[in-house]
Structure 1
Amino acid sequence: MNGNRPGTRTLRVTVLVFPGVRLLDVTGPVEVFTSANEFGGRYRVQIVSEDGAAVITSAGTCIGADRAADEVREPSDVLIVPGGPEWETLIKDDVLMDAVRRLSGTAACTASVCSGAFLLAAAGLLDGRRATTHWRFTRRLGLRFPSVRVEPDAIFVRDGTMMTSAGVSSGIDLSLALVEEHYGAAVARAVAKDMVVFMQRPGGQSQFSVRSQIPHSRQELLRRVLDAVAEDPGANHSLAAMARRAGVSARHLTRLFHEETETTPARYVEQVRVEAAQVLLETGDDSMEVVARRTGFGSPESLRRAFVRHLGVTPGAFRTCFRTTGVRHKAPESAGVSG
């Protein structure tokens, strides 16, 4: 896309579906684009499958297709490639990969949702490009396709004509960004309000991945250090203290951290402390002072700086977003409960 407004021309959005596709990866973007038509947008959405037949999603529901992929004659303004739990099998489907390449070749913009990034990467469309996927799979994407420059914390990434987004609902974020590009911020904002979603959600993916990234080490002495930090984040974990615990010099321990975890001792300790604070903020009523003290930060200001640095949100904003849906604090009638 060149950023110019499309005027009165109807924009074509093609969504490629396949057996086992994740339902929200499809319906999220479709809902954004069709809702935009109510606020000044002009989109025509078509669902295509390999052979034009309906497909069964990973949720067990059926999605119909408008036509087969090889029947698409007109170029698309946006091609959406969703993901699915069985992406490792999907990327070995030569017919599906050919469909991805052909449809992308005539599309002005190709966008993946969640593990759909693996399909784009397997098709060779992300070589040398920046990309993201669900936080659980960012490391695997980088290992499987080393030519892809993975950005693990991004909600979505744009690199030229390719866009990739994070897990499941991030397809909505990506689609809203495209609506804003096509028709302006006012239209995108109206769609976001109508769907009751963030126009731009706070923070990145790392706020969802509590304790998922704690590294494993082949070195027994380093494993003892890592475990000690994880078991008691609030204890003294200075470099000197950890080196004494491991029985090695501070320099040697730093080298082990770099070789085994690809991070520094200080950064590892801070990450574990942030993750421990996330758990306390999600599950407890402790004040910020208590959370900071229990997790080794010492002060609310140090806690706040670490949260912003690692997660892109403040501790207060994190607690508000992730502690509860708010249903317990609503009166029955306002929560939609009767009698």
Structure 2
Amino acid sequence: MHQFSFQRTNYQHTPVTQAVFIVPPQVHLLDVAGPAQIFYEAADYGAPVTSYFAGIFPADERVESSSHLCFSDLRDYNTLQLKKNDLVFIPGLERALLLDDAFLRTTAPFRRWLQEQHAKGVIICSVCTGAFLLAEAGLLQDQACTTHWKYTERLQQRYPGLQVKENCLFVQSGTVLTSAGVASGIDLALYIVEQLWGSAFAAQVAREVVVFNRRSAADPQLSVFLQYRNHLNNRIHTIQDLLAQTLDKKLSIEALAEQIHMSPRNLTRLFKSTTGITIGQYLDKLRVERSQQMIGEGHTMHTVAAACGLKSTNQLRQLLKKYRGMVRA
């Protein structure tokens, strides 16, 4: 499959990239704000990029978001002259609109404009349920794509010609990229910044917005650092936080239990009944994910093992082998 490519050398002398953020009615704020902030920071660091905000209807100069915060002074997308490798971001919006055939019919002119931009080689990106608008425009037909985990099945049912991928942060199909939603829009934006201006520059931008553990397309939507947290037991949350923050240390069950004023036996039982897995299994999963992150960043196996609280690289390899199903392809 053809993948788009960007110049990576001396970005200060490359043409200015135009990044257009579409603001549909009932837009989800973070779907717009996250990627827009990434490109704002990139410009602040000297990247040749200019951002625009445009409504989905030419007459819209003011749009109310799903959170009731309003966007104003929006551009008419017809006035934008985009070129190959410029960017268009389509954020998510309220599902009631996406399932409203009458609303979708009114978007026909915008969808035709999207098709024209795609034909010119403009990079089209969706965040969260924005994928529905791309699908309606025919840009995802027979292509791999994704959306928020709550809507992957609905997207597949409504558009059976799509190859909807579950549990991934973003998917690239040529010059069309779809992401899972909210925070994954930031991951997607950082990925594009990396393609445009290189890894070192993207790392600077990530650090500026305090995104230290950057995620890639291969990462699942739900990190192990976020899984097993769908409960309201503050004491177990405290233990999970402590384990995640001290992976390089070996804490005994007694030391953990002391933190929440509980006996080791009661902690063991409560952790299992609350999360569905044992403390040891949870710790292993944290170590596997952290080790994969560090290995992907180029750290040595020795450094990774130490950071994960393991005695040797051999112990690390055994752990990765044990949890082979968690390891990214």
Cα shift at 1:298: 6.4
Of 123, 129, 148, the match for 1:134: 148
Work out whether 1:69 is the aligned partner of 2:77.
yes
Write the distance in 2 (CA, Å) between the matches of 1:62 and 1:302: 42
Amino acid at match of 1:123: A
Higher relative contact order (CA 8 A, sep 6+): 2
Write the distance in 2 (CA, Å) between the matches of 1:303 and 1:292: 12
1:8 matched residue in structure 2: 14
Cα shift at 1:67: 2.5
**Residues 115 and 276 of structure 1: CA distance in aligned 2, closer, same or farther (over 3 Å):** closer
Unaligned runs of 5+ in 2: 241-252, 257-266, 294-306, 308-329
Q: 6-15 vs 290-299, which deviates more? A: 290-299
Of 27, 30, 41, the match for 2:36: 30
Write the distance in 1 (CA, Å) between the matches of 2:221 and 2:71: 29
Work out whether 1:46 is the aligned partner of 2:52.
yes
Cα shift at 1:301: 4.5
Identity %: 31
Unaligned runs of 5+ in 1: 211-273, 318-339
Task: Write out per-residue CA displacement over residues 38-73 of structure 1, whole angstroms, 9 at most, x where no aligned residue.
Answer: 223110111122215222221212213453122223
Task: Report if aligned partners of 2:31, 2:128 keep a CA contact under 8 Å in 1.
Answer: yes
**Residues 306 and 193 of structure 1: CA distance in aligned 2, closer, same or farther (over 3 Å):** closer
Alignment of 1:67-106 (within 5 A): 67-75=75-83, 77-85=86-94, 86-89=97-100, 90-93=103-106, 94-106=108-120
Work out whether 1:161 is the aligned partner of 2:157.
no
Cα shift at 1:165: 0.7
Write the distance in 2 (CA, Å) between the matches of 1:134 and 1:293: 29
Tell me how many residue pairs correspond in the alignment. Answer: 249
Amino acid at match of 1:18: P
Task: Report if aligned partners of 1:176, 1:199 keep a CA contact under 8 Å in 2.
Answer: no
Of 208, 220, 243, the match for 1:204: 220
**RMSD after superposition:** 3.4
Amino acid at match of 2:284: R
Write the distance in 2 (CA, Å) between the matches of 1:79 and 1:179: 14
Task: Write out per-residue CA displacement over residues 95-148 of structure 1, whole angstroms, 9 at most, x where no aligned residue.
Answer: 333333233333431100110011111111011111111111111112211221
**Residues 61 and 108 of structure 1: CA distance in aligned 2, closer, same or farther (over 3 Å):** same
Write the distance in 1 (CA, Å) between the matches of 2:128 and 2:284: 29
1:149 matched residue in structure 2: 163
Task: Write out per-residue CA displacement over residues 250-305 of structure 1, whole angstroms, 9 at most, x where no aligned residue.
Answer: xxxxxxxxxxxxxxxxxxxxxxxx85897779636485992775467568258736
2:284 matched residue in structure 1: 304
Q: TM-score, normalised by structure 2?
A: 0.65
Task: Report if aligned partners of 1:121, 1:127 keep a CA contact under 8 Å in 2.
Answer: yes
Of 52, 63, 85, the match for 1:55: 63
Task: Report if aligned partners of 1:173, 1:199 keep a CA contact under 8 Å in 2.
Answer: no
Of 136, 143, 155, the match for 1:122: 136
2:313 matched residue in structure 1: none
SS in 2 for 1:104: helix
SS in 2 for 1:124: coil
Write the distance in 2 (CA, Å) between the matches of 1:275 and 1:18: 34
Task: Report if aligned partners of 1:129, 1:159 keep a CA contact under 8 Å in 2.
Answer: yes
Write the distance in 2 (CA, Å) between the matches of 1:21 and 1:276: 28
Task: Report if aligned partners of 1:292, 1:303 keep a CA contact under 8 Å in 2.
Answer: no
**Residues 303 and 296 of structure 1: CA distance in aligned 2, closer, same or farther (over 3 Å):** farther
Task: Write out per-residue CA displacement over residues 199-246 of structure 1, whole angstroms, 9 at most, x where no aligned residue.
Answer: 5148521349x9xxxxxxxxxxxxxxxxxxxxxxxxxxxxxxxxxxxx
Task: Report if aligned partners of 2:146, 2:152 keep a CA contact under 8 Å in 1.
Answer: yes
SS in 1 for 2:99: helix
Write the distance in 2 (CA, Å) between the matches of 1:279 and 1:92: 43
Q: TM-score, normalised by structure 1?
A: 0.63
Task: Report if aligned partners of 2:14, 2:48 keep a CA contact under 8 Å in 1.
Answer: yes
Work out whether 1:191 is the aligned partner of 2:205.
yes
